[in-house]
């Protein structure tokens, strides 16, 4: 008799694919990665290097696995739909990913569901943008609908003149931009959950995310001092999104807590997410293990915390030589509780190259230890 083997294929060789490798090894799941190039963060599990925008490349890769999932949201819908037409299990499916790929479609869909969002408008002209800015207090957030991440494809505008380059080449963006109210928020929150194909869904505790220059810098799990009402509303919003959109795997719903008390959906990610890295050490089941379980339609694990507080601090590249390994000696000596992660990427200023997590029953201690270890590593 043949023993059963579970095979997951990940398109994209970034740090999320890398971190999925860990629970695959633990559980005994065969994880394969289709990477963009050799020597990626997920090189260890890479079984194929190729261009995922080519249907034949994706098809060849899909033939080697039981289910296809993703390190990022950039696989063209036409490729995903072709795989689905072949009978491949694509998780999350193309119909869900469509909303993660296009921020305008996401706003339209969430609007149809009556979910709370910043004021927004589809912008096709300078006149329309100036009108939106005027209606929204003299400034707006302007986004390219497709392809932005970590502050890229996003800018604050006070006049259509601030976006003349985008407006003049609007055809490059599918003919439309997305304008959004610049929310006066007191903080940003993220609700992470996972949903398996057959419907079971489990959330992690609500977290607070702290951004610097549009990039996630610190995550506090759970989010401190959240009212019972806010906890209920954020949970309801996240579960409404997951069910309505038919997400499978991990879903991150990033939200603003506005100064006027409103909870407004900012962005969605349909994959393991930076706001969930704390769960590797901080939860009974990490987001990476849960994602594999969810896309394989296996029962989901407990998302209970391992300790009262987890703090995650990102390690962003400082230059082209510090890959954070050279200061391991100092950082590990000074911070014996810190769990240091580096992603095997070449050093580059601003690049997400690793993170540090500390799990503790005391929130201030966890924060100080995580920030302390990160500071030592950043010094190199």
Go through the chain and tell me how many residues it has.
380
Distance of CA 136 to the CA centre of its chain: 28
Identity of the residue, 112 or 333, whose beta carbon is nearer to a copy of itself in the bound complex: 333
Question: Judged by CB, which is closer to a copy of itself: 32, or 94?
Answer: 32
End-to-end distance of the chain based on CA atoms, in angstroms? 54
Minimum Å gap between C-beta 86 and a copy of itself is: 25
What is the closest distance, in whole angstroms, from the C-beta atom of residue 9 to a copy of itself in the complex? 15
Nearest to 287 by CA among 206, 189, 204: 204
Minimum distance of a copy of itself from residue 197's CB (angstroms): 12
Binding site for a copy of itself (CB under 8 A): 1-6, 18-19, 21-22, 25-28, 44-45, 280, 284-285, 293, 298-302, 304, 306-307, 320-326, 328-329, 332-333, 336-337, 339-344, 346-347, 354, 359
Nearer to a copy of itself, 33 or 179 (CB): 33
Q: How far is the CB of 234 from a copy of itself (least distance, A)?
A: 23
Residue whose token pair is 């769990």: 339
CB nearer to a copy of itself: pick between 240 and 334 = 334
Closest distance of CB 55 from a copy of itself, Å? 28
Q: Residue 255 phi/psi, 5° resolution?
A: -130, 150
Q: How far is the CB of 27 from a copy of itself (least distance, A)?
A: 6
Compare residues 29 and 90 and give the one whose CB is closer to a copy of itself. 29
List CB contacts of 205: < 8 A, sequence separation 6 or more: 221, 222, 223, 303, 305
Between residues 71 and 267, which has the closer beta carbon with respect to a copy of itself? 71
Beta bridge mates, 187: 257
* Token reading at 191: 């609700």
Nearest CA among 184, 243, 225, 265 for reference residue 363 = 225
Distance CA(310)–CA(70), nearest Å, equals 26
């Amino acid at each position: 008799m043949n023993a059963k083997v579970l095979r997951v294929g990940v398109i994209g060789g970034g740090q999320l694919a890398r971190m999925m490798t860990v629970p695959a090894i633990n559980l005994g799941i065969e994880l394969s990665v289709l990477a963009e190039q050799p020597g990626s963060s997920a090189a260890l599990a890479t079984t194929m290097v190729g261009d995922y925008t080519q249907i034949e490349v994706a098809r060849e890769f899909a033939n080697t696995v039981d289910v296809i999932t993703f390190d990022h949201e950039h696989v063209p819908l036409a490729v995903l739909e072709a795989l689905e037409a072949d009978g491949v299990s694509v998780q999350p499916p193309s119909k869900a990913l469509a909303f993660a790929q296009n921020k305008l479609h996401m706003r339209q869909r969430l609007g149809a569901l009556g979910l709370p969002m910043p004021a927004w408008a589809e912008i096709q002209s300078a006149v329309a943008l100036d009108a939106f800015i005027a209606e929204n207090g003299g400034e707006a957030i302007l986004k390219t609908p497709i392809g932005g991440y970590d502050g890229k494809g996003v800018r604050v505008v006070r006049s259509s003149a601030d976006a003349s380059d985008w407006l003049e080449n609007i055809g490059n963006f599918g003919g439309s931009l997305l304008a959004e109210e610049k929310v006066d928020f007191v903080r940003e929150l993220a609700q992470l959950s996972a949903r398996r194909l057959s419907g079971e869904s489990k959330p992690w505790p609500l977290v607070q995310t702290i951004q610097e220059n549009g990039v996630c810098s610190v995550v506090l799990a759970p989010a401190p001092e959240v009212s019972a009402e806010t906890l209920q509303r954020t949970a309801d919003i996240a579960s409404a999104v997951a069910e309505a959109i038919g997400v499978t795997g991990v879903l991150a719903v990033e939200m603003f807590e506005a100064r006027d008390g409103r909870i407004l959906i900012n962005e969605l990610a349909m994959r393991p997410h930076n706001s969930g890295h704390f769960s590797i050490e901080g939860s009974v089941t990490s987001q990476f293990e849960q994602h594999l379980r969810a896309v394989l339609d296996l029962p989901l694990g407990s998302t209970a915390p391992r300790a009262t507080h987890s703090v995650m601090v990102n390690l962003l590249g400082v230059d082209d030589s510090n890959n954070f390994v050279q200061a391991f000696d100092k950082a590990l000596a000074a911070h014996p509780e810190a769990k240091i992660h580096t992603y095997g990427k070449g050093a580059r200023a601003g690049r997400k190259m690793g993170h540090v997590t500390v799990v503790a029953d005391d929130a201030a201690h966890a924060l100080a230890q995580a920030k302390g270890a990160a500071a030592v590593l950043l010094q190199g």
